[in-house]
Amino acid sequence: MGSNVESAFDWTRKSVLVTGAGGFIGSHLVERLVERSAHVRAFVRYNARGDQGWLEDTPAHLRREIDVFAGDVSEYHSLRRAMQGIEVVFHLAALIGIPYSYASPAAYVRTNVVGTLNALQAACDMGVAKFVHTSTSEVYGTARYVPIDESHPLQAQSPYSATKIGADALAYSFHCAFGLPVAIIRPFNTYGPRQSLRAVIPTILCQILDRRAVHLGARHPTRDFTYVSDTISGFLAVAESPAAVGEVVNVGSGAEITIGALAGLIAELVGCEAPVELEDSRLRPPASEVERLWANTAKAQELLGWRPVYELRAGLLKTIDWFREHRSAYAANGGEYHV
């Protein structure tokens, strides 16, 4: 394992907005910021039930310190109101399920492109001091060379990745054209507690815990899996560093594993043999499948002093423990992919 350099940056009383705060990564980021004594406004998507996503699982002593704001990133004035008095914005709100992007690409444009435009415009109008935009390794498409650095060509192999490429370009343009202090973080395949069944590790794990065969799509593609705690440290490092403004920074583990080998490793760690079976419905269209992702994190190390702490086995063990404790909530869905 490596180690993240402890930053001298003081988050105490910093006013921070996190969009997508009720999601997997967003909820972890909110909690880390509250632990650092920041004043956090958590932007969650409005719904009639008042559901705040994973923030509802936040420990009570942290939750009472969070200012929850319900709105919609596709509506500019909602974001403008949320950014009143805010110094730092972490923009995570996005539609992320790749299979659903084949069915409803317009929804991805509304949230990922128009929503990002609204957030950037509001940040400009409200004089935000730092805007951290969340990209994704999916924008690289199938690796042309490995490990993938930030200069790798961008390839829109799904409507989801196309909208994220567009959002990234908008973020960079607002830095160049309007002087907005934008930094772009590009995480590689984050995993850990709270991740939904739209992701491969939870769906493998839930099927194994249920003592069933593991149904997968393509088993040969590789991914760079990064434990959520390391991803969150990357977000903070990007926000804290003046050198990150105007830059794109990869955050990944710096290792790759095939999906098939991943399933075998999870079965080994759980202590349960589970045959892996191909399921055609899980396959992406051939030209849309991203065959290989493997992060080059040299820039993050040199620019920010950031490096991952968790090797895959260690992160998976923590993830397995959490899913065992919360198994009932996932078992009802049968370990099936959600789009």
List pLDDT tens digits, range 238-280: 999 999 999 999 999 999 999 999 999 999 999 998 888 888 8
Cα–Cα distance, 7 to 151 (Å, whole number) = 27
List pLDDT tens digits, range 193-225: 999 988 999 999 999 998 788 999 899 999 999
Considering the segment(s) 15-331 as one domain, its CATH architecture is 3-Layer(aba) Sandwich (3.40)
pLDDT score, position 4: 57
Contact 252, 187 (CB under 8 A): yes
Kindly list the domain boundaries of the chain, sorted by start residue: 15-331
pLDDT score, position 5: 52
Contact 24, 227 (CB under 8 A): no
The structure tokens listed for 225 are 């899996």
Cα–Cα distance, 118 to 130 (Å, whole number) = 16
How confident is the model over 69-92, as a mean pLDDT?
A: 97
Q: 327 pLDDT band (50/70/90 cuts)?
A: confident
132 vs 69, 165, 265, CA distance in Å?
19, 15, 34
Strand pairing class (222-223; 257-258): antiparallel
Contact 210, 331 (CB under 8 A): yes
DSSP 222-256: EE--EEHHHHHHHHHHHHH-GGGTT-EEEE--S--
SS3 state at 129: coil
Closest CA relative to residue 266, chosen from 338, 319, 329:
319
Mean pLDDT of the chain: 93
Q: How many CB atoms lie within 10 A of CB 106?
A: 10
Q: 337 pLDDT band (50/70/90 cuts)?
A: very low
